A = this chain, B = another copy of it.
Amino acid sequence: MNKTRLEAFSDGVLAIIITIMVLEIKVPHGHEFADLKPLIPKFLSYILSFIYVGIYWNNHHYLLHGLSKVNGKILWANMHLLFWLSLIPVATGWMGEHNFAKTAMALYGAILLLSAIAYFILERIIIMAEGKNSVLAKAIGYEIKGIFSAVLYILGIAFSFYSEWISGAAYFIVALLWLIPDKRIEKVFASKN
């Protein structure tokens, strides 16, 4: 099976996910600046989700970079990841529409957590297929960042019922964590090429 087409399909889906999210920012009805005010929570949640999809696109790229052969398991693990990511626009819209309401914060965190789990599964399946000595297996090593993210998502979901600010902060910290480039991975791939 062809890696190029798997990448192209995933890129297409991710490009559509990141772009249709903007459709949730509906054109405001009035024509005063005050009419833009209800768009502020929508805009903020759009920024956060845009960064998240960007991070997933970036990491997905690394994940498949080290891949030499696609099998059926990898293909479906990839579909599974795309499935959860495809729900981000709905969760983002709900969060923005109801001004970061507690239930929306919990749902958003749940979608992020399930996406992270799907990513982890895909990673394991790729490493299983490529072998323990593959470039990817070496590059990833001990997944401190992934575990830390999962803990923060769970905290974000749990605390959403107490304060929407705490869960918002948790999701924001995870995004920052992944925005900062992972020197380790870059180095391993650079030394290979």
Interfacial residues, chain A to chain B (CB-CB below 8 A): 1-2, 5, 7-9, 11-20, 22-25, 27-28, 31-33, 35-36, 47, 50-51, 54, 57-58, 61, 65, 72, 75-76, 79, 82-83, 86-87, 89-90, 93-94, 97-98, 101, 103-104, 107, 179, 181, 186
| Chain B residue nearest in CB terms to A82 | B18
- Judge whether B18 and A15 touch: CB under 8 Å: no
- Judge whether A98 and B31 touch: CB under 8 Å: yes
User: Cα distance A58–B47 when bound, in Å?
Assistant: 25
- Judge whether B11 and A9 touch: CB under 8 Å: yes
| Residue among A7, A15, A16, A35 with max Cβ neighbours from chain B (10 Å) | A15
Question: Would you give 15 A-B contacts (Cβ < 8 Å), ordered by A?
Answer: A5-B11, A8-B8, A9-B11, A16-B20, A19-B86, A24-B27, A27-B94, A28-B94, A31-B97, A50-B79, A51-B79, A54-B76, A58-B72, A72-B186, A76-B179
Copies of the polypeptide in the assembly = 4
User: Cα distance A104–B33 when bound, in Å?
Assistant: 8
A149 CB → nearest B CB, Å: 18
* Residues of B contacting A5 in the complex (Cβ-Cβ under 8 angstroms): 7, 11, 61
| Chain B residue nearest in CB terms to A104 | B31
| Chain B residue nearest in CB terms to A54 | B79
Known A-B contacts A54-B76, A103-B33, A186-B72; the reply to A19 vs B20 at CB < 8 A is yes
